[in-house]
Structure 1
């Protein structure tokens, strides 16, 4: 009940302060990611304050370099993709109409008409969704980059959290009830493992997929390959959504760009996504994330959409970590339920441990009274 109450209170606080949370959430995430590095530097004899400052400076220099080098190119490609997407859809529909006589001869007029209507509707809805997601990501990314609060407050928040990280952990540990300290420590350790899997593991997966798709699609000569690969890689934190959006955009552009004279490149783009899905499902997630999250993909997708609806861009950042925490608390509650009398029945419960015998109190000497 206490864990559930704390979780509900955290959700309410997030909803109340959602408009100002972004720099603090990013700073907390950055501090959590960099804390192991600072701990390693501390073991080498570098003070925690100096180690925190050094690590943050290196990270900020790296991020600024990447932003200055890649953001203009990515912004141009994403803008061109959004502007050219309706034309690609129209060209793809014209290409499908050219194939209709062959489908009519094979399937018959009625089934061909049904197939044409279904494909047109599916392509329209898919591209509309992809364009909406692309525009939202681009707008959110530009908003984050141009927000002064994120640029200036986030490093300050991350620095002070890194400096006082061990002190905060010790204070929380000192506040735990003595009787249940070991049990609560076990729950917190499970939460830490889930958070490490979410933030560090899934962050590594997203980075690898972004690099793979951007490089492979660009080398294949696909128009806007860098933007499409980046979109697919970033959306891969939602199960199957990143793959489906990237695949739909890539195949639409590839069919219009390469068919029929260079149809081999269409197969190359198809193979890029088959290999990418194999790497994601069989190598990256099992090795980098493992079983630490242990969340059903349906629940993960629901959490992403629900938190995005409630909190906007901050909700997207918090959805997966909070889903992982709620999963740990739910499993803990189920374990406690299966050990209770409600589940086992009073006859199957182990007998209560005997209470310790009270210590014998020494006999009190009679008070001396004034004699005669």
Structure 2
């Protein structure tokens, strides 16, 4: 047996090397095919999000095709309503912001900077050479315009690039419909390929990953929409011209604790001071965000998201940024699913490690850990207490 040990170790090393090379090759292929795979990944995520509703409609007696048609139509109508209502509204808000830029510049130069200089006793104006900043912005704008002109010229000459963009837009709803219709079949096909000895463990980890990612995406998306609407309407009620735009920004940043409300409060207070110059409207902004935070903390997040997410906000931000850096927009789409699966696998690895001899050492495992490793004894196998026997 000892003579075969080196050969066994070499074979195991070569097998690990093969799996590593296969993983690296898959990542390289993913990087190459990122532009092509983007609509497929986005459609798969939409199909995964809509599949529970399709299954629920099927349980009411409808066929799979009818359920898929209803869910797909509802999703398309929601997207159409959002585009029709939200895009013109954001466009008007941006136009208002551009028209208000001179007022913000005057407020910064005549009010904010002198107020900071009086309290910090620092010559901020000397550090902020606005003429130089304006010249720098103008130069970079011209350079960006030249780059944009070159890029647009290239795109106009490259019919293939434009055709690919149009094809991705057209493919998205078609692929989403097929993913919705065949999602259960694809899951069953993947499940049939899993080795039978590991089926229970893989199924358990897959369910946990789906629950974590589904709770985060569905719950946090609803929280972002509700808070964005609340903040926008509240700031509009206070009287801010840019209230809806600030509310949308604060709602989109809600998935990061403290960043969403903090950015909304800062932007809202600046907008109130520039537009009105009094503290009554600033107090109104604080009231709007205070009410929103109370509703989010005590009702929205507990009800819609819950405490089973396990994805730290810093991990979410890192995953999205790292995915975008490595694989572009496709990486940003895959970042959250990969982070959710990695989080579940890390918890599983930690559980296995804390129940192993490596963690406990040579000493006997604690009673709780040993009990967790052993199956529960049947009632017939439990011995009677010694006191009862003595009686």
**CA separation of 1:148 and 1:235: change in aligned 2, threshold 3 A:** farther
**CA separation of 1:206 and 1:191: change in aligned 2, threshold 3 A:** same
**Match status 1:113 vs 2:122:** yes
- The equivalent residue for 2:324 is 308
**Match status 1:154 vs 2:163:** no
Shift of 1:284: 2.1
- The equivalent residue for 1:342 is 358
Task: Describe the superposition over 1:1-41 as per-residue Cα deviations: whole angstroms up to 9, x where unpaired.
Answer: 9xx97998876554333223332232122212211221122
Task: Describe the superposition over 1:77-119 as per-residue Cα deviations: whole angstroms up to 9, x where unpaired.
Answer: 1344356457515413422245468x55xxxxxx4328x68x9
Give the Cα–Cα distance (whole angstroms) in 1 for the partners of residues 178 and 68 of structure 2: 9
**CA separation of 1:25 and 1:88: change in aligned 2, threshold 3 A:** farther
**Match status 1:41 vs 2:57:** yes
- The equivalent residue for 2:281 is 265
- The equivalent residue for 1:241 is 259
Contact 1:207 1:233 survives alignment (8 Å): yes
TM-score, normalised with respect to structure 2: 0.71
- The equivalent residue for 2:296 is 280
Equivalent pairs, count: 318
**Match status 1:81 vs 2:90:** no
**Alpha-carbon RMSD:** 3.4
**Match status 1:230 vs 2:230:** no
Of structures 1 and 2, the one with the larger relative CO (CA 8 A, separation 6+) is 1
Contact 2:103 2:274 survives alignment (8 Å): no
Structure 2, unaligned runs of 5 or more: 1-15, 138-163, 375-391
**Match status 1:220 vs 2:238:** yes
Give the Cα–Cα distance (whole angstroms) in 2 for the partners of residues 233 and 58 of structure 1: 23
Contact 1:250 1:269 survives alignment (8 Å): yes
**CA separation of 1:202 and 1:72: change in aligned 2, threshold 3 A:** same
Task: Describe the superposition over 1:250-290 as per-residue Cα deviations: whole angstroms up to 9, x where unpaired.
Answer: 22211111113xx3111101221222233334432222111
- The equivalent residue for 1:204 is 222
Contact 1:258 1:266 survives alignment (8 Å): no
Contact 1:28 1:161 survives alignment (8 Å): yes
- The equivalent residue for 1:71 is 87
Structure 1, unaligned runs of 5 or more: 105-110, 129-145, 354-372
Contact 1:204 1:288 survives alignment (8 Å): yes
**CA separation of 1:100 and 1:297: change in aligned 2, threshold 3 A:** closer
Q: Select which of 51, 70, 77 maps to 2:67.
A: 51
Shift of 1:149: 4.0
TM-score, normalised with respect to structure 1: 0.74
Contact 2:97 2:242 survives alignment (8 Å): yes
